[in-house]
């Protein structure tokens, strides 16, 4: 035990160094600032920018020097007054044909001396990455001698990192490939369902190892470790046997516990708050902070296996302790990621070495610095709770908490028992004299003592808890208020959903099993919200396995290029989603319900899609079903696709049953095309702090209690 504690303390010490920021409920509510506050923030930001302008100028200069030097053609122009530089790859497009390849070669070949300076550091990172033991292979049939077209790359302006409107606008101007800047090096973003189909397939490895190897487990693991963790999560989040029909939902205490937490919180806080708003005639209420609080707290309670119902604690001490833990979790969960878009964890690693303000200035960084200290304290509280969990496990004779922690402990024990029985079977096969039944031997052991869980397994469990909390809560508190906000501008859709909802028992809460296919109108509305307002702007980055890998239409990227899929632009591709891709039209999903999670699509179908996408000269669009990737696709796709949609349906359904949601102001764009007007330009949205899509005013609506 002492050893476990010591090692856990070491983990605590290590991780507390890198976590940061505290946020109270009050602060969190003010996340969506008033206009006056926004102005103040702008001023603060401007001052800080000035102080750091030297550093900023140096970085910008180096970056653009490099591009200019690397350029062998193409143009440099402005998008909305900001410089935007286009890089055209060598006309021969031969980066794939001379061994090492990579960006350094691209620069050298193009005659850019500056490139070496900028990429000195990047080169070192790359070799470290290749030393990570992950084998990257590509079969002969997937190689190409030379691409047909030169790769045109263009750098986004900085504003595209925080504004979906600018991201869409620039992505359109730049075409399939564009570049984001990361550590002074490029991250190529692709925006085409055809290319996304290939980049998200197994041929491209997620390479998150080198820049963030120390704390966030599955988000940083690759290869076998990632595979093992991912299998655990897929099993926990999808308790359906592959063969059964989608409507026959298997009970799962772990997932039902999450839904219980959500119902409990809706009843105790959200509905009373909406009731109050409803009685204060037509005063708008901001939905986004309400659901942000709900999900941060619910995920904290669920992950740590704390009871959904606080009244079961009858002593003040227990209540205080629980609140302290939830507060600390809330603090850690918020603002861990500070850079918009899905590539933010790189900065965790980077900030160990470089003061944040020196490498990237973004709105929000000042808040980040202020909150950093509070996070260290929160980290200590949570790590003490982890130690308590280990102690409880050891001392309570096998009695465990519920929630996600309970399920992960259970999984770990099952895996251990399986490994033990395999070992025993091996020994037996090896000609041992003793004729023992290995299974019985394991069971006998288990009956006497609580099976020991190794330190590395505890670390893995706690790592998974943190990953799931971060990965799960953010997209949910983005998507749910956005769905309700869009519904407030579409009374007809709201009416239809209410009609569907009336088919459910009005006295029982909506559950995982009660809501499956009888809410097609809500299903379609949610999917269309996901398509037009994807919570994550990009997938996590992938690395091209080889510089000879040919992408659709003959595009070729140098090896080891970091590639991410720009989901926002991809999900509006006209070829795949039709000429009305910029229209909000839930009906486009009518033929695709129920939604089939990407991990349930048969391998043969996936391979065929990749093959079709790779066909040179074939301009056929990727079909809607394959192009729809708000959860990513392939090995690193979201493992909770079905669960996420269930949660959104349950929460939105429960709110709509009780309240009518109306636009906050009379001038709002209500009616059939209201949603289209909102999503077309995306001016109302931003990528803030957490890296997820947020409505900048917090989704203001008026709520009216239903009779
Ligand atoms: C509407 C809600 C959600 C959306 C849109 C969403 C989207 C995504 C996306 C785009 C990725 C990255 C995929 C890639 O790089 O290709 C991802 C990964 C992930 N998501 Fe979700 N997600 C949602 C809800 C959830 C929930 C509720 C959970 C957990 C309960 C969850 C757990 C995860 C995890 C653990 C990963 C990392 C997977 C890996 O590394 O292999 N997500 N999600």
- Mean pLDDT across the chain: 70
Mean pLDDT (whole number) for 528-554:
79
CA distance 699 to 685: 10
Residue 692: CB within 6 Å of ligand 1? no
Length of the chain: 707
pLDDT at 669: 64
What's residue 353's pLDDT? 42
* Ligand 1 pocket member 646 (CB < 6 A): no
Q: Phi/psi at 204 (nearest 5 deg)? A: -110, 125
Alpha carbons 167 and 78: distance in angstroms, whole number: 14
How much is the pLDDT for 334?
Answer: 56
What's the CA gap between 406 and 84, in Å, rounded? 51
Q: Which residues pair with 154 in a beta bridge?
A: 86
Range name among 368-372, 574-578, 628-632 with the lowest pLDDT average: 368-372
Distance CA(651)–CA(343), nearest Å, equals 29
User: How many other β-carbons are positioned within 10 Å of the β-carbon of residue 605?
Assistant: 11
Task: Tell me how far apart the alpha carbons of residues 567 and 694 are, in angstroms, rounded to a whole number.
Answer: 15
Query: How far apart (Å, rounded) are the C-alpha atoms in residues 499 and 480?
Result: 20
- Residue 643: count of CB within 10 angstroms of its CB: 23
| DSSP conformational letter for 267 | I
pLDDT score of 550: 66
How far is residue 459's CA from residue 473's CA, in Å, rounded to a whole number? 21
- Span 633-655, mean pLDDT? 94
Nearest to 302 by CA among 252, 253, 261, 256: 261
| CB of 232 closer than 6 angstroms to any ligand 1 atom | no
Q: Tell whether the model's pLDDT for residue 109 goes beyond 50.
A: no
Question: Which residue's alpha carbon is at the smallest distance from atom 29 of ligand 1?
Answer: 472
CA-nearest residue for atom 19, ligand 1, is 638
Q: Pocket of ligand 1, candidates 638, 641, 652, 691: which has the most ligand atoms within 8 Å of its Cβ, to mutate?
A: 638
Residue 699 counted as an annotated binding residue? no
Average pLDDT over residues 61-81: 37
What's the rounded mean pLDDT across residues 180-204? Answer: 77
Best mutation site among 471, 598, 651, 691 for ligand 1 pocket (most ligand atoms within 8 Å of CB): 471
Residue 137's closest CA among 197, 203, 198? Answer: 203
Q: What is the pLDDT of residue 318?
A: 77
* DSSP letter string, 145-205: SS-SSPPEEEBPPGGGGT-HHHHHHHHHHH-SEEEEEETTEEEEEE--HHHHHHHTSTTEE
Do the strands 659-663 and 700-705 form a parallel or antiparallel pair, or are they unpaired? antiparallel
| Residue 354 confidence (pLDDT) | 43
- Average pLDDT on 390-410 reads 88
pLDDT recorded at residue 376: 72
Q: How far apart are alpha carbons 200 and 119 in whole angstroms?
A: 26
Question: What's the average model confidence in pLDDT over 27-39?
Answer: 37
Report the pLDDT averaged over residues 346-361: 42
Q: What pLDDT, in 10s, does the model give residues 481-516?
A: 999 999 999 999 999 999 999 988 878 888 887 655
Span 168-182, mean pLDDT? 77
- At 108 the pLDDT is 29
CA distance 699 to 592: 28
pLDDT value at residue 104:
35
Query: What's the complex ipTM?
Result: 0.99
Write down the pLDDT at residue 490: 93
pLDDT, mean of residues 28-46: 39
Number of the ligand 1 atom closest to the C-alpha atom of 645 = 1
The residue behind tokens 């399920």 is: 407
Summarize pLDDT for 213-246 with one digit per residue, the tens.
333 434 556 677 788 889 999 999 998 654 555 4
Report the alpha-carbon angle 165-48-368, nearest 5: 70
Q: What are the start-end ranges of the E strands in 61-126?
A: 76-79, 82-88
């Amino acid at each position: 035990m002492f050893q476990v504690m010591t090692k856990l303390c070491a983990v605590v010490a290590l991780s507390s160094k890198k976590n940061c920021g505290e946020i109270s409920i009050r602060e969190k509510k003010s996340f969506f600032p008033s206009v006056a506050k926004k102005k103040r923030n702008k001023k603060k930001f401007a001052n800080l920018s000035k102080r750091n302008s030297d550093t900023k100028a140096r970085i910008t200069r180096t970056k653009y020097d490099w591009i200019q030097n690397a350029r062998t053609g193409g143009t440099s122009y402005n998008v909305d007054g900001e410089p935007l530089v286009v890089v055209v790859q060598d006309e021969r497009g031969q980066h794939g044909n001379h061994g090492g390849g990579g960006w350094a070669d691209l620069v050298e070949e193009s005659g850019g001396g500056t490139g070496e300076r900028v990429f000195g550091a990047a080169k070192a990172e790359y070799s470290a990455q290749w030393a990570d033991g992950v084998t990257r292979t590509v079969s002969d049939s997937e190689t190409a001698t030379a691409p047909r077209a030169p790769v045109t790359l263009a750098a986004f302006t900085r504003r595209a990192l925080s504004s979906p409107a600018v991201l869409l606008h620039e992505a359109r101007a730049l075409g399939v490939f564009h570049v984001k800047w990361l550590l002074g090096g490029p991250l190529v973003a692709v925006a085409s369902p055809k290319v996304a189909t290939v980049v998200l397939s197994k041929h491209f490895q997620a390479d998150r190892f080198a820049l963030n190897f120390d704390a966030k487990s599955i988000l940083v693991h690759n290869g076998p470790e990632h595979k093992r963790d991912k299998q655990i999560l897929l099993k926990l989040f999808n308790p359906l046997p592959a063969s059964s029909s989608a409507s026959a939902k298997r009970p799962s205490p772990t997932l039902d516990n999450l839904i219980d937490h959500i119902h409990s919180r809706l009843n105790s806080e959200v509905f009373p708050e909406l009731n109050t708003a409803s009685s204060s005639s037509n005063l708008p209420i901001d939905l986004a902070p309400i659901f942000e609080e709900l999900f941060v707290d619910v995920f904290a309670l669920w992950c740590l296996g704390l009871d959904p119902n606080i009244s079961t604690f009858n002593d003040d001490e227990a209540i205080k302790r629980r609140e302290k833990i939830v507060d600390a979790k809330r603090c850690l969960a918020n603002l861990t990621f500070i850079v918009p878009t899905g590539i933010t964890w790189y900065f965790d690693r980077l900030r160990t070495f470089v003061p944040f303000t020196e490498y990237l200035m973004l709105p929000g960084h000042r808040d980040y610095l202020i909150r950093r200290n509070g996070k260290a304290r929160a980290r200590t509280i949570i790590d003490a709770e982890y130690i308590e969990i280990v102690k409880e496990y050891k001392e309570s004779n096998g009695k465990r908490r519920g929630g996600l922690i309970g399920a992960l402990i259970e999984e770990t024990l099952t895996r251990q028992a399986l490994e033990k029985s395999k070992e025993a079977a091996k020994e037996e096969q090896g000609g041992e004299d003793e004729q023992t039944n290995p299974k019985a031997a394991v069971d006998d052991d288990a009956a006497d003592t609580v099976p020991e869980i190794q330190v590395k397994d505890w670390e893995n469990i706690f790592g998974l808890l943190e990953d799931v909390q971060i990965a799960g809560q953010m997209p949910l508190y983005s998507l749910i208020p956005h769905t309700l906000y869009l519904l407030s501008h579409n009374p007809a859709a709201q009416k239809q959903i209410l009609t569907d909802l009336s088919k459910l028992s009005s006295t029982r809460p909506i559950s995982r099993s009660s809501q499956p296919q009888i809410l097609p109108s809500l299903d379609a509305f949610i999917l269309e919200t996901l398509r037009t307002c994807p919570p994550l702007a990009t997938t996590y980055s992938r690395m091209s396995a080889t510089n000879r890998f040919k992408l659709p239409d003959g595009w070729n990227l140098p090896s080891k290029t970091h590639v991410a899929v720009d989901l926002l632009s991809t999900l509006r591709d006209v070829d795949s989603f039709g000429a009305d891709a910029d229209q909000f039209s839930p009906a486009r999903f009518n033929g695709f319900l129920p939604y089939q999670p990407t991990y349930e699509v048969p391998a043969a179908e996936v391979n065929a899609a990749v093959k079709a996408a790779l066909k040179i000269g074939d301009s056929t669009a990727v079909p809607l079903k394959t192009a729809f990737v708000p959860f990513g696709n392939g090995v690193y796709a979201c493992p909770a696709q079905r669960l996420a949609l269930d949660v959104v349906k349950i929460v939105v359904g429960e709110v709509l049953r009780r309240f009518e949601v109306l636009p906050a102001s009379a001038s709002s764009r209500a009616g059939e095309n209201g949603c289209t007007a909102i999503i077309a330009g995306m001016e109302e949205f931003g990528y803030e702090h957490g890296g997820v899509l947020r409505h900048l005013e917090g989704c203001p609506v008026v709520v009216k209690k239903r009779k």
